[in-house]
Structure 1
Amino acid sequence: MLSACSLLGGSEEQGELPLADYVAAESQDLADGGTLTLGAEYLPANFNPLHTDGSNSDAPRILAPTMGSAVRVLADGSWEVDKDYAKSVSIVDRKPLVIEVELEPKAVWEGGTPIRSKDMVAFVKAMKDSRFSGDAHPAMSDIDSVDVTSDLKYQVKFKRVNADWPAVIYPALPAAITTSQDTFNSGFQTQAIPSNGPFKVALISTETNTIRLERNPRWWGTKPPLSEIVWRFAEPDVLAQAFELGELDMAPLRHLDKKSLPSGAEVRVAASSYWSQITLNGGRGPLEDAKVRQAVALAVDRKAFAEDQKVELGRAGPPLDTVVTMPGQVGHHAVGTKRDLEAARNLLDQAGWKDADGKAVKDKKQLELVLPIPEKQEPAKRRAELITKQLAEIGITVKTEVVAADTFYEKRVIPLDFDLVTFTRRGSAFNVSQSRLWFTPRDSPQNFTGKESKETAKAFSAVLTQLDPDKRSEASETLETIVANQASVIPLVVIPAAWVVRDGVVNFGPTQFEQLDWTKVAWHKDSQEK
């Protein structure tokens, strides 16, 4: 049976995108064998997704068919136990929080070594050791200990309750790697970490910009239909041409134009986990005043950003006014922020900025905000143009400064040398711990707001320490309102993920949070392309 899978987080008439977009097919309709050739722009420089260099590249996506965990994330950001990796995952105590994991005894690393409790002990120890250049989920810092009950069973004890616990209760690497900082830090520039998934990496070629994955002969679960997966890396225009020539089965789309699609191709578009935003530096100048920040927030027209995105990409993601969850995600509640220019002008007036011929003036000085943008990055440039236009309507002048892209974060964002800055953030299924670091503490390396708020920190703690889903949803709604009132980060719009995919490829397409099942990704048995 064949069906289009389009898991909507809302009405497409309202501009919302599906959370996943692929053609679903049952096992009896899958061809046995075949190669799936995929295109991407950048060949990773590090093939350890837990390393800081690897996590910030395409390595996690490329290596996804080779990796697995006790927790499988679903389309709406909820999760279930992946029985290929764990027989059970359960909360056995709440004060303190204790999670018990019973491993699947058949599970092994690529070399044949069984996945056992000692791997989890070593993994947590390494991820909390500064000598390892690890990029672990922030909830890892709340783990107090891993107590081994047997080779196949362990308990993860937390110092404090953390609702993001599912992200950190399974070892992503074998102990042989996490007991050696040299191996972890430097061992995966030209080779991939050991597989524990249905595929393994057979080739990484920097000469041909190619990565080839093949079936993992030690895989204990359902046999994957595909014989191999090949990744090829090139500039977007080259990838598009390769797809047209039949050399690729998937390529990312920069602009959606169905009229120019080659025959035998279809476009699959879903909401991605990325979203655009404006960060306001409340640590200096006029934006130290909450009323001025709130005025800026009320002047922003999210619908205009969505429409501009539609011009650029061909499809628009939904406007966004939340920072922890995204539309369609379990527990999401929109704040309901609406543009209100009159209220924005009143707030400026209350802050002492008076209208003078359409300009906000205080002590004979015009209200001017500096907005640096990285050179040659069209999305940032377009957002800056809209920000400039919209804030001008309440008398605020925005001074845009184009800076070198390779030093944009190092010289402007990290040292807080800006009033406004716009870039993309990324959501996740377990995002409370991560998003908290965008706001508190003040010295968090990811907090670019120039301030911290006790009220905001308390609201994040209320969400993190709530294990009941309904109560956590209520606490999250309160948190989003507090964050919106602080007006240090202004979410704008969800960014679409658009791929062009060869007809006949099933159970494969862009998703927001859902993990593709690589034991089901395949060519349809009736396809002539494979």
Structure 2
Amino acid sequence: MSNDGPDSALEGCGAASDLRLPPRERDKPRRTRRRPTTDRAALRSAAFLTAGALAIPLLTSCSSDDPAGKPLAAQDIAPAARELVADGGTLRWAVDDVPETLNTFQSDADAATSRIAQAVLPSMYRMDSAGRPVRNADYLESAKVVDTEPKQVVVYKLNQQAVWSDGREIGAADFAAQWRALSGKDSAYWTARNAGYDRIEKIERGANDLEVKVTFARPYADWRSLFSPLYPKDVMGTPDSFNDGARRKLKVTAGPFALKKVDRKNDQVTLARNPRWWGRPAKLSEIDLMAVPRDKRADALAAGKIDLAEIDPSGAQRIALADRAKSGTNTPLQGASPLMGSVGGGRVAAKSLRSWALAHGTDEDAADDEVRALAKQRKKIAKLRKQQETLRGFEVRKSLEPAFTQLALNGSEGPLADERVRRAVARALDREALAEAVLKPLGLPAVPVGSHLALAGQEDYADNSGAIGGQDTAEAQALLADAGWVPGGPIKEQKKGEKAAGSKGKKADDESEGGDDGTYIVGEDNKGDTKNNGHNGEDGSKHLADGKQYGEKHLKQGGAPGAYAPKGTAAPGGAAAAQLAKDGKPLTLRFVLPSGDGSETLRTVAERISKMLARVGIRTDIVKVSDDSYFKDHIAAGQYDLALYSWPASAFPATDARPIYAKPVPAADGSLDVEQNYTRVGTDQVDQLFDQAMATLDDDESRDLIRKADSRIWAAAGSIPLYQRPQLTAAKKDVVNAGAFGFQTPVYEDMGFLKKGARPSASAS
């Protein structure tokens, strides 16, 4: 894969604990749910999009045979052949929460919901190590399009051994029930997504009981995305069973594991080996999914309470330090008292300490206090040594998540409603430096992401960042000048309570302290942290939330029509440019970030971005808000100018990514229906390309349309992909076939504990 440098072609062909990812819905709910909604549901903003049509650069063809390339990092799961895995045992696996629902098609389904579904329910297709859909032979012998005229017809031939846990064969009745529930035609079903199912005309039994014939009313390229997972007709058959019956229990399943118990009191879900499973028998007897907050997982690992857990970089560092530490040396409490070296002497040491204290003029009470302090220190040391010994039984397995972090630019109003200003922000960023800050300290490939719609290795991936161009200070300044933002312009004195240009929501002025680099940092609701907070931040060892890759040299791309290069030379590297102003108002953007302990790297990246923007004359107010309100009250509500959050990659971008980049439209109530496009930037052309890609059954043509759509999304500059998210997993050293899975769907039946004396295979390079 080639790299895009500062000057990119018109179409590049390069080839934290963290906040949860925003939801990716395949379609909007057809009705408002009667139960309380959550942050995962698509929300409407009251703001209206005011930006005009976007200028689209001319597209060029790609010269690379396979611009998709390979995944940047392989999965790291300590692979082992099944004969080396012990039979039995319970794997204790940390999750964020016990899920509110076991129905993945409801709006409050989460990652734990999906994990359970993968283990206990059928899926016709699953993801391979390159993030591409592959047929799941345990359920599906074959599936293919047998007709395209007059209608698209897909015939599924099921594995003849595939049965539900109640003994009934998996068949057409289950497919039909799921279609009816998710088609969107019956508003009694509280569905979170309908796309794909709404294109089906009918489902019939084929030539025999093992065939399912699906006829589409409209062509659908992403038909492989359907029926994964597949729920039994017992769940999908009626609105009551769909809405409520599958929220807390699944009586009928069909996977290597069955749902044994959901224990909300003890925050645990237990999966047990399915005796009716027809595939390779599960090695583990049970999997306990245990709800452990991310900031508590290192302690839970040290206490021996869990065997497998995704962790943040600080937890990974703790395991690494424990592995390097030698028993009895380099403990942080040593040297705390004059006799610390004789702590191991127990009572003798305490007696000696008391005698030493009295001999040096300390009264008896003070001497006793010193003895008690020593006893506490001894307990701390003993606890620390025990924790270190436990942590030495773990290792950190690392890869990259199938998700990326982006800088979102709210284009609904203010300076960022002007495409030229958004493009200037993009040209000011050194994305390679940002990726390196997050990923390089973790030993992961520090390559920027080149696509909004796929990640390296996936079939639809191509580095299209050339549609906007790489880091170029002069070009960014030219774009800003063309938009009317000039240095040294008169700035009207703001009245109390008046917002600066670009500052959405609450003001952030009187209580913020400016730094030389143009960054202003305020606390939640503009209170709390008011100092400049050390702009160099952390070294990137704590990660944010995602990441990806890019590029090399191409033709220099100019700005919007009329843009010109500013007179004189660029400011020295690292220096903040003069404040820009327009119509008497300074160019200041409100950069909203979460304030939680797990978002340190996110804030570090934001500070680096702010310094980069300052070099072209854009000032930022960094506003920290609570984690609970960050997405719902700020991102989804449009109360921000700049923000950082993540999106998962999909093997079916025409279906799954369309709501994220669709052009917002006015809703019936007068608000703006943004679906999941929280930047409020979109074009009719992008929507048309998605629709065409979804309707063509030619894989090459669909892929080409997806890549063209991505180029236009880059050109609109509503969001700038930065880097693929790091994935760090702590695993007991004898846990095999589990860890940092990367793109691949976990193979639950192969997970387990290594037999004594056996050694796992080397991880794939």
Q: TM-score if structure 2 supplies the norm length?
A: 0.63
Provide the residue aligned with 1:433 in structure 2. 655
2:322 counterpart (260, 271, 286) = 260
CA–CA separation in structure 2 for the residues paired with 1:168 and 1:206 = 31
Amino acid of the structure 1 residue aligned with 2:131: G
CA–CA separation in structure 2 for the residues paired with 1:62 and 1:123 = 18
1:136 counterpart (161, 175, 193) = 193
In structure 2, the CA distance between the partners of 1:246 and 1:411, relative to structure 1 (3 Å rule), is closer
2:457 counterpart (328, 342, 345) = 328
2:123 counterpart (58, 69, 85) = 69
Report if aligned partners of 2:121, 2:231 keep a CA contact under 8 Å in 1.
Answer: no
In structure 2, the CA distance between the partners of 1:528 and 1:86, relative to structure 1 (3 Å rule), is closer
CA–CA separation in structure 1 for the residues paired with 2:242 and 2:281 = 30
Amino acid of the structure 2 residue aligned with 1:456: V
CA–CA separation in structure 2 for the residues paired with 1:352 and 1:146 = 59
In structure 2, the CA distance between the partners of 1:405 and 1:295, relative to structure 1 (3 Å rule), is same
1:40-189 to structure 2, matched below 5 A, reads 40-54=95-109, 56-95=110-149, 96-127=151-182, 128=184, 129-136=186-193, 138-149=195-206, 150-169=208-227, 172-189=230-247
Report if aligned partners of 1:156, 1:169 keep a CA contact under 8 Å in 2.
Answer: no
CA displacement at 1:90 relative to structure 2: 0.6
In structure 2, the CA distance between the partners of 1:441 and 1:111, relative to structure 1 (3 Å rule), is farther
Deviation digits for residues 317-356 of structure 1 (CA, Å, limit 9, x no counterpart): 5321311101222231112442111111111112222233
Report if aligned partners of 1:414, 1:445 keep a CA contact under 8 Å in 2.
Answer: no
Provide the residue aligned with 1:410 in structure 2. 632
CA displacement at 1:193 relative to structure 2: 6.1
Amino acid of the structure 1 residue aligned with 2:83: Q
Deviation digits for residues 54-106 of structure 1 (CA, Å, limit 9, x no counterpart): 2x342212442212312122111222222211221111123433221122232
Provide the residue aligned with 2:257 in structure 1. 199
In structure 2, the CA distance between the partners of 1:99 and 1:218, relative to structure 1 (3 Å rule), is same
Provide the residue aligned with 1:395 in structure 2. 617
1:350-361 to structure 2, matched below 5 A, reads 350-356=482-488, 358-361=578-581
CA–CA separation in structure 2 for the residues paired with 1:113 and 1:508 = 31
In structure 2, the CA distance between the partners of 1:312 and 1:109, relative to structure 1 (3 Å rule), is farther
Report if aligned partners of 1:47, 1:193 keep a CA contact under 8 Å in 2.
Answer: no
In structure 2, the CA distance between the partners of 1:387 and 1:144, relative to structure 1 (3 Å rule), is farther
CA–CA separation in structure 2 for the residues paired with 1:310 and 1:139 = 36
Provide the residue aligned with 1:5 in structure 2. none
1:240 aligns with 2:298: yes
Deviation digits for residues 423-444 of structure 1 (CA, Å, limit 9, x no counterpart): 1111122232111111214134
Deviation digits for residues 413-466 of structure 1 (CA, Å, limit 9, x no counterpart): 233232223211111222321111112141342112324312212222343334
1:447 aligns with 2:677: yes
In structure 2, the CA distance between the partners of 1:421 and 1:143, relative to structure 1 (3 Å rule), is farther
SS in structure 2 at match of 1:481: helix
Q: Greater share of strand residues, 1 or 2?
A: 1
SS in structure 1 at match of 2:170: coil
CA–CA separation in structure 2 for the residues paired with 1:397 and 1:259 = 40
CA–CA separation in structure 2 for the residues paired with 1:528 and 1:206 = 37
In structure 2, the CA distance between the partners of 1:343 and 1:139, relative to structure 1 (3 Å rule), is farther
In structure 2, the CA distance between the partners of 1:247 and 1:451, relative to structure 1 (3 Å rule), is closer
CA–CA separation in structure 2 for the residues paired with 1:346 and 1:465 = 40
1:231 counterpart (289, 304, 308) = 289
SS in structure 2 at match of 1:230: strand
In structure 2, the CA distance between the partners of 1:489 and 1:97, relative to structure 1 (3 Å rule), is farther
1:424 counterpart (628, 646, 649) = 646
CA–CA separation in structure 1 for the residues paired with 2:594 and 2:124 = 40
Max radius of gyration: which structure? 2
CA displacement at 1:315 relative to structure 2: 4.8
1:340 counterpart (467, 472, 496) = 472
1:513 aligns with 2:645: no
Greater alpha carbon shift after TM alignment, 434-443 vs 459-468: 459-468
Q: TM-score if structure 1 supplies the norm length?
A: 0.90
1:369 aligns with 2:589: yes
Structure 2, unpaired ranges of 5+:
1-13, 16-70, 324-390, 489-576, 665-672, 760-765
In structure 2, the CA distance between the partners of 1:137 and 1:243, relative to structure 1 (3 Å rule), is farther
SS in structure 1 at match of 2:398: strand
Report if aligned partners of 2:686, 2:709 keep a CA contact under 8 Å in 1.
Answer: yes
CA–CA separation in structure 1 for the residues paired with 2:639 and 2:700 = 40
CA–CA separation in structure 1 for the residues paired with 2:446 and 2:168 = 44
CA–CA separation in structure 2 for the residues paired with 1:125 and 1:34 = 40
SS in structure 2 at match of 1:20: coil
In structure 2, the CA distance between the partners of 1:111 and 1:386, relative to structure 1 (3 Å rule), is farther
Report if aligned partners of 1:335, 1:481 keep a CA contact under 8 Å in 2.
Answer: yes
Greater alpha carbon shift after TM alignment, 355-364 vs 276-285: 355-364
Amino acid of the structure 2 residue aligned with 1:355: P
Report if aligned partners of 1:144, 1:157 keep a CA contact under 8 Å in 2.
Answer: yes
Report if aligned partners of 1:317, 1:495 keep a CA contact under 8 Å in 2.
Answer: no
CA–CA separation in structure 1 for the residues paired with 2:616 and 2:270 = 55
CA displacement at 1:173 relative to structure 2: 0.8
Provide the residue aligned with 1:4 in structure 2. none
CA–CA separation in structure 1 for the residues paired with 2:179 and 2:424 = 44
CA RMSD of aligned residues (A): 2.7
CA displacement at 1:312 relative to structure 2: 8.3
Amino acid of the structure 1 residue aligned with 2:213: Q
SS in structure 2 at match of 1:511: coil
Report if aligned partners of 2:153, 2:213 keep a CA contact under 8 Å in 1.
Answer: yes
Report if aligned partners of 1:39, 1:251 keep a CA contact under 8 Å in 2.
Answer: yes
Deviation digits for residues 243-269 of structure 1 (CA, Å, limit 9, x no counterpart): 234332212221132233432322111
Report if aligned partners of 2:124, 2:229 keep a CA contact under 8 Å in 1.
Answer: no
Report if aligned partners of 1:271, 1:317 keep a CA contact under 8 Å in 2.
Answer: no
1:480 aligns with 2:710: yes
Report if aligned partners of 1:19, 1:328 keep a CA contact under 8 Å in 2.
Answer: no
In structure 2, the CA distance between the partners of 1:441 and 1:153, relative to structure 1 (3 Å rule), is farther
- Count of matched residue pairs: 516
Provide the residue aligned with 1:3 in structure 2. none
Structure 1, unpaired ranges of 5+:
1-8, 11-15
Report if aligned partners of 1:123, 1:171 keep a CA contact under 8 Å in 2.
Answer: no
Provide the residue aligned with 2:698 in structure 1. 468
Deviation digits for residues 472-522 of structure 1 (CA, Å, limit 9, x no counterpart): 333333222211111111111111111111122222222232112222222
Amino acid of the structure 1 residue aligned with 2:188: R
Provide the residue aligned with 1:318 in structure 2. 447
Amino acid of the structure 1 residue aligned with 2:176: V
Amino acid of the structure 1 residue aligned with 2:747: D
Deviation digits for residues 290-324 of structure 1 (CA, Å, limit 9, x no counterpart): 11111111112222322332488675653213111
Q: Percent identity?
A: 29
CA displacement at 1:35 relative to structure 2: 2.1
SS in structure 1 at match of 2:155: strand
Report if aligned partners of 1:214, 1:229 keep a CA contact under 8 Å in 2.
Answer: yes
Provide the residue aligned with 2:9 in structure 1. none
Report if aligned partners of 2:297, 2:311 keep a CA contact under 8 Å in 1.
Answer: no
Report if aligned partners of 2:453, 2:460 keep a CA contact under 8 Å in 1.
Answer: no
